[in-house]
Amino acid sequence: MTTPSRHAGILPYQDIKRLIAGRVIGASPTIEDRQIQPASLDLRLGRKAYRLISSFLPELSAISSRLNVLDFYQSDLVMYEMDLIDGAILEKGHVYLVPLLENLELPKALRARANPKSTTGRLDVFTRVVTDLNAGFDEIRAGYHGPLFLEVVPRSFTIKVRTGQSLNQIRFVRGEATVSDQALHKLHQKTPLLYHNGPSKKVVGSRDFRAERGLFLRIDLIGEDRTDSCIIGYRAKKNSHVIDLAKVGHYAAADFWEPLYRHRHDSLLLEPEEFYILASKERIRVPAGYAAEMVAYEAACGELRTHYAGFFDPGFGYGSEGEIKGTQVVLEVRPHDVPFLIHDGQTFFKVVYDKMMEIPIQLYGSVLGSSYQRQALTLSKHFKA
């Protein structure tokens, strides 16, 4: 399975390996194969974490200059530092900054952007990459040479983390990679991108295929079996124990989550600052020559945030030969300020597709240990199935 190399797009698995070999991406200790994904690289937590007084952007100074303070009592930013080598507790509601093990020496034609991993988003752990002399989060300018830092804010649960664990990932982009709306329509006719959820898994017809600077998707508040006992979402409990990110399939969901059942009006009232896990009404596919990213769609300014993690790798909901008829998208939702009523089938978010420079030699769900290839409404991998 090959395709001609493009002049612009997302760098695939094999090119990320070349960047590592050429020391464009540096790290100590050496980057592990498990970190390299079809269209992204998992970044690892470093040896220390700094408990901050607040979030900040280092537009005017290098980050290290704000951290290297002999007496943190005199600092306007840092409260104290913590050792992550043997594990440390990050309390919910607090802001932490972690120097990552990786660093970059990007060429002038290559930029990068970061996003939380799916598991991170589903635990309501808010993360953003911070770089020196930058006025924004998660966007790393072309030609950047320097260290990477991760801002970590656990929102619903207190977590335990260790050096070497990955909470976020990075993509490398050359030129203009975004697929236009017209090209999305043509691609969907040739290789379907959207299917209806349900037993039939029918292809979404052209009338319901809506694209405007991305592909619109809707929220599912009915569930696949359409009964009143069907779980259509989860809400995080306010008080619970620590979640150790090293423990997979360990925790009982009922200790951390309240299940939400189908309402007679097929609606759901979202309470301010509560955290919800919901799912899409459509099933999406990402063909091998493309990558995708979820972006928030706001009906008006700022009522709710509809995701925290947004990368979809080539092969997601598609498989190696297109044998999978899409995968539901799991949404991390947090309303702000006022209660917000949503209805089944309501437009809720968008997915933007990008071209790959080449088809990756490894696809999502192949031999990479991908966790969510055939997911429905799924909590993070730390909870018992």
Reported as a single tens digit per residue, the pLDDT across 253-296 is 999 999 999 988 899 999 999 999 999 999 999 999 999 998 86
CATH architecture of 181-355: Distorted Sandwich (2.70)
**DSSP 8-class letter at 1:** -
| 2 pLDDT above the threshold of 50 | no
Q: Give dist(CA 145, CA 104) in Å, integer.
A: 5
- pTM of this structure: 0.91
- Cross-strand bridge partners of residue 354: 178, 291
Do 292 and 312 form a contact (C-beta atoms < 8 A)? yes
Residues 67-76: pLDDT tens digits?
876 667 667 8
CATH 2.70.40.10 fits 9-174, yes or no: yes
The region of weakest confidence among 40-54, 223-237, 299-313 is 299-313
Q: Give the least confident one: 64-78, 101-115, 233-247, 310-324.
A: 64-78
Task: Tell me the pLDDT of the chain averaged across its residues.
Answer: 89
d(CA 295, CA 356): 18
Backbone angles phi, psi at 248, to 5 degrees: -95, 135
- Per-residue pLDDT tens digits for 124-172: 999 999 999 888 899 999 999 999 999 999 999 999 999 999 999 999 9
**Which pLDDT tens digit goes with each residue over 328-365?**
999 999 888 889 899 999 988 889 999 999 999 998 87
Q: Which tokens hold the place of 110?
A: 């290559």
Could you tell me whether strands 48-52 and 78-83 are parallel, antiparallel, or unpaired per DSSP bridges? antiparallel
| Distance separating alpha carbons of residues 10 and 115, to the nearest angstrom | 14
Residue 301 has pLDDT above 50, yes or no: no
- The boundaries of every CATH 2.70.40.10 domain in the chain are 9-174, 181-355
86 pLDDT higher than 50: yes
Secondary structure of residue 186 in the 3-state scheme: helix
